[in-house]
Amino acid sequence: MSALLLCCLITPAKSLAQSAYNFEATKQLEIFNAAYNSLHLNYVDSLDAKKRIGEALNYMLGQIDPYTEYYAKENTEDLKVLSTGKYAGIGSPIVYRRDFDCAVFSNPYHDMPAYRYGVRSGDRIIAVDGKTVSGEHPADTQDYLSDITDRLRGEPGTTVSVALQRPVTPTAESPDTVQNLTINIVREQIRRPNVIVEKMLDETVGYTYLVGYTEGAADELKTHIQSLKSQGMKSLILDLRGNGGGLLDEAVKMVGLFVKRGSEVVTMRGRGDETKETLYTQASPLDRSMPIVVLTDYGTASAAEITSGALQDLDRAVIVGNRTYGKGLVQHSCSLPYGGAMKYTVAKYYIPSGRCIQALDYAHRGDDGQPLHLPDSLCKTFHTAAGRLVRDGGGITPDLIVKQDTMPSLIAYLQYSTQLFDWGVAYQNSHSSIAPTESFRLSSDEMADFKAFLESHGFKYDNQSRQNLNNLRQWAHAEGYDADSSELFDQLEKVLTHNLDHDFARWEDALRETAESEIIANFYGDAGETLYNLKNDPVVKEALAVLHDPDRYANILKKQ
C-alpha cells in the first residue's frame, strides 16, 4: 500500500525539504500499515480489508477537496463516463425509493434503449435477469443502486430482462395499484448529447442549451450553430446554466469558435513553475463578429466557467444571469495497482485577464473545518482586453445580473417531493399522449386533481413566515418576553399555518408551471422541459432585449 500511494503523492527528492516530506509520508504510511495489520490479526471480528481501507482512502481524499476521488476497479467505468459521456447499457437513471423499498427508473433518456423499449419514469425495478433486487432494505443505498446499475449495464448488443411494477391508478383514493411487466432491452453504447436544445427564438436570435463538456462537445456546438445560421440566425444565446463542466480541451475549442486563432484561453499552474501551461485556440474561428449572450447561474462550473469567463475577458460575449459556482481547479487521473484509479487536483486555472475564479480554499479551513470563501473585500481587480474591470475570488459575475423571482417555500418543497414525481408518473400512465410542448396546458379539473393527489398523499411543506415565527418565539423566550406574548404568538401561528387551498389559489401560476413542466419532462424529455420553461424565463427575456439593442450590447463591452 505504501508504494501505491507514494507513486501518486511524492516525487524524487530534489531538496532537503523534499527529502523530509518523503520521509514523513513513508513514516505515516508505515504507521497506518502497522495499525491495520494489528487490527487484522487481533480485532474481535474479522475485517473486510477492501471496504475498510477503501473507506479510509476515500475519507482522506474527501478531506483534500471534493474533486479528488478514488475509483476501485469495479468503478473505473464511472471515471470513463465522466470524460467521454459514453457507456454501454440501457440509458436511464435510477433512484431508491424507501417507501417502495426498491429502485425506480427516473426520466429515462429519450432516444435511448430503455425509453424505446417502453420503460417509463416511476417504473419500479423488481428483478434484473431473474435476480430479485427489491425488498432488500439496504443500509447503503448508494451501493444498492450501484449493484443494480452494474446489472443493467453490459456489452452492446446483449439483452437484459427487467421485471417491473408500474403504478397505473391515477386516482387519489387508490394510489398503489400496479401492473406487472417484464421488458427485454437490448443494450447499446450510450452517449448523451452535450447540446440538447437548438431553437430560433425569433427571426434573428438562435438559442442553444449546452449541458456537458464530454468528448466532442465543441464539435456538437459548432454543428448546431451552423444549423441555426442556415435558419437565419444573426445573434446567439448560449445557455450554460446548470452546466457542471467536464473536459478542459473542449472549453478551449469552444472559445475558439468565436475568437481569432492563437488566442489565450486558460493557464494552468500547479505546485511548481514547471507545471505552468497555457492553452491557446488552435483552429480558425467559426464566427468572430456575431453578437453572443452567454447565460450563467450558480450551477455553471469548471469548463463552463472557462468558456463564459474567457469570452468575458476577451470582450467577445455579454454574460447574463447570475454568478457562477467558482471551480477553478483542474483534475487529472492516474492508474493505481489492481485496476483502480484516482482523479486528483493538479492545478488551478487562470483565464485571460489573469484571474482565478476558484471560490473555496480547501487547503486552509476555518475553525469549523469547512473550506474558506474569499470575502469580496479581498478580491483583486483585473481587466478585460478592452479594459473593463472584473474580479477574482468566486466565479464569474455576469455583466447583467437578473434577480431570480421570489418563490414561496411551497414551490421549492414541491419540486423536490416524491408526490410531484408520483403524480407525474400517474398522469403519464393514464394518458397515451399530450399536446406539443408549446401548447400543452393542464385543465382546471386536472389542477384540482393535482391538489387532491397532494393532499391524499401527505404532501407537507413549511412556509417561511411560520419558520420565522418559531425563531421569534425562541428569541422571545431567551429575552424573557414569552410570558407576555404567548397568546399573541398562538394567534399569529393560527393565521400563518399553511393552508393548501389558500396557497394553491395564491400561487396558481407557479404551481401550474411546476406541474406542467413535470409532465412534459416525462413525455418529451429534458429538451421538451427546457423548451417549455423558455417561454417565461426572465434571463432569456433579458438576453433577447440586449441582442435586439445593438447600441446597448456594444456599450456593455466597452471600457466604462
Q: Residues with catalytic annotation?
A: 302, 313, 327
Start-end of H helices in 268-408: 303-313
Q: Cα–Cα distance between 515 and 459 in angstroms, integer?
A: 14
Task: Give per-residue burial for 436-469: e unless 16+ CB within 10 Å, then b.
Answer: ebeebebeeeebebbbebbeeeebebebebbeeb
| Phi, psi for 44 (deg, rounded to 5) | -60, -35
10 Å CB burial of residue 220 (0-12, 13-18, 19+) is: buried
* Positive or negative torsion for Cα 20, 21, 26, 28: positive
Task: Give per-residue burial for 15-50: e unless 16+ CB within 10 Å, then b.
Answer: eeeeeeebeeeeeebeebeeebeeeeeeeeeeeeee
Q: Cα–Cα distance between 552 and 543 in angstroms, integer?
A: 11
Q: Cα–Cα distance between 482 and 489 in angstroms, integer?
A: 9
Going by their DSSP bridges, the two strands 292-296 and 318-321 should be labelled as parallel
For cell 437513471, name the residue. 93
10 Å CB burial of residue 273 (0-12, 13-18, 19+) is: exposed
Query: Cell for 556?
Result: 456593455
